[in-house]
């Protein structure tokens, strides 16, 4: 089937409408209903959990006569299951829609299949219309669907010999200004910044994202403090622009699931060696950022502690994706690999 220019324009409009919806557990979705001659009849978007989906929202503005024979242009494949609302594929069929175009396939095991349902009922369906733009819009949500939890980046700063602090516990500043500015930029790209109570008690961090002059950046990650010890009433984190989340759970997978329900897609962990090691040990790390300064500290305060590795065969293998120089420091970005290295031998 040929996608008309007017339909591509309608998809661009649907993508713009989608961003009106909240970022969270549910995807941002927009929809446009076109007449057979290409006129926009109605528009809609998803306003959050429990509200009508974008297609149903758009159809609600039309009479049955207007919808019959029309084209639905949607940013995400119409869902095929009943949750808090009914299946959008069935709503489109009931309205008499004759043609459906969408940008991104629904990755859900339960919710996918709307396109096949529509085709089986005789509706013309065109997938991947402005798919790249649609996937860009839904990038963080799609990552959560793939992982089943938020994406986790673990960051630490270390000396050249792998220490996160000097023997007396001091750690400010191992790295220079350029590296610290890069950290704040990455904080601002996250939905939540996670630390342990040890870091809060030792350093009293504000956990804000700031520019080089110290001013708050436009987007602030929500602070999350994990640990059994109480956070002092006058701690800097309690003055964060966003209300902190406190958790005493040692089950980090459960913590991540709780954050997902809060609409968190990207987690930035920079809470010290104990917490970083726990995320690695529990297999919950998707990206590692290691800022390495050309200094030597010696002593016992390693950037990572026990991560459950007893022998070289059990090493957590990483694929190095980039190395960047930041002033006098280096930033190494790496991702865990799930397959053994090519030269690995069976024992």
> Could you tell me if 173 and 158 are in contact, meaning their C-beta atoms sit under 8 angstroms apart?
no
Domain boundary among 144, 168, 195: 144
Q: Using one digit for the tens of pLDDT, what is the confidence trace for 72-122?
A: 999 999 998 776 667 899 999 999 999 999 999 998 877 788 999 999 999
Q: Decide if 347 is inside a domain.
A: no
pTM, rounded to two decimals = 0.75
Q: Decide if 73 is inside a domain.
A: yes
Catalytic residue positions, numbered: 55
- Do 30 and 114 sit in the same domain of this protein? yes
Task: Name every residue whose Cβ is closer than 8 Å to that of residue 86 and which is 6 or more positions away in sequence.
Answer: 56
How many other C-beta atoms can be found within 10 angstroms of the C-beta atom of residue 318?
16
- Do 59 and 185 sit in the same domain of this protein? no
> Could you tell me if 151 and 286 are in contact, meaning their C-beta atoms sit under 8 angstroms apart?
yes
- Do 86 and 224 sit in the same domain of this protein? no
- Do 295 and 162 sit in the same domain of this protein? yes
- Do 153 and 243 sit in the same domain of this protein? yes
Domain boundary among 117, 144, 171: 144
Q: Quick check: helix, strand or coil at residue 194?
A: strand
Whichever domain contains 164, its CATH number is 3.40.430.10
Task: State how far the alpha carbon of 93 is from the alpha carbons of 71, 109, 129, 281, in Å.
Answer: 11, 21, 20, 49
- Do 84 and 205 sit in the same domain of this protein? no
- Do 312 and 220 sit in the same domain of this protein? yes
**Per-residue DSSP letters for 97-160?**
--EEEEEE----TTT--HHHHHHHTT-EEE--TTHHHHHHHTHHHHHHHHHSS-EEEEEEEEET
- Do 190 and 293 sit in the same domain of this protein? yes
Q: Decide if 283 is inside a domain.
A: yes
DSSP bridge partners of 195: 225
- Do 139 and 154 sit in the same domain of this protein? no
Residues spanned by the domain of 275: 149-336
DSSP bridge partners of 325: 330
Q: Decide if 344 is inside a domain.
A: no
Q: Decide if 342 is inside a domain.
A: no
From 83, 98, 146, select the one nearest 1 (Cα to Cα).
98
List average pLDDT for each run of 10 residues in the chain, which is 347 residues long: 90 96 86 96 91 94 94 94 78 95 88 90 95 91 88 93 84 87 91 92 89 89 93 94 93 93 90 90 93 92 88 89 94 79 37
Q: Using one digit for the tens of pLDDT, what is the confidence trace for 184-195?
A: 999 998 999 999
Domain boundary among 91, 111, 144: 144
């Amino acid at each position: 089937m040929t996608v008309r220019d007017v339909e591509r324009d309608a998809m661009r409009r649907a993508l713009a409408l989608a961003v009106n919806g909240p970022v969270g557990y549910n995807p941002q979705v927009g929809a446009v209903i076109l007449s057979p001659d290409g006129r926009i009849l109605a528009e809609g978007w998803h306003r959050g959990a429990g509200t009508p989906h974008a297609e149903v929202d758009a159809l609600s503005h039309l009479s049955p006569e207007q919808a019959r024979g029309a084209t639905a242009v949607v940013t995400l494949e119409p869902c095929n299951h009943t949750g808090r609302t009914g299946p959008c594929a069935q709503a489109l069929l009931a309205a008499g829609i004759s043609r459906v175009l969408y940008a991104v396939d629904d990755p859900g095991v339960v919710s996918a299949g709307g396109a096949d349902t529509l085709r089986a009922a005789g509706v013309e369906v065109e997938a991947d219309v402005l798919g790249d733009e649609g996937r860009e819009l839904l990038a963080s949500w799609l990552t959560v669907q793939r992982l089943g939890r938020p994406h986790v980046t673990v960051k630490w700063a270390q000396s050249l010999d792998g220490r996160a602090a000097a023997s007396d516990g001091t750690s400010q500043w191992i790295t220079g200004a350029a590296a610290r500015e890069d950290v704040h930029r990455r904080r601002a790209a996250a939905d939540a910044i996670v630390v342990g109570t040890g870091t809060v008690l030792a350093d009293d961090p504000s956990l804000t994202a700031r520019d080089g002059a110290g001013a708050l950046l436009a987007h602030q990650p929500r602070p999350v403090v994990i640990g059994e010890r109480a956070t002092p009433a006058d701690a800097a984190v309690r003055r964060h622009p966003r209300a902190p989340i406190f958790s005493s759970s040692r089950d980090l997978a459960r913590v991540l699931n709780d954050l997902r329900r809060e609409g968190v897609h990207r987690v930035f962990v920079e809470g010290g060696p104990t917490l970083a090691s726990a995320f690695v040990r529990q297999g919950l790390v998707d990206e590692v950022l290691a800022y390495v300064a050309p200094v030597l500290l010696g002593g016992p305060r390693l950037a990572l502690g026990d991560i459950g590795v007893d022998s070289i065969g059990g090493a957590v293998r990483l694929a190095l994706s980039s190395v960047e120089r930041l002033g006098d420091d280096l930033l190494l970005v790496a991702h865990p690999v799930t397959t053994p290295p090519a030269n690995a031998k069976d024992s």
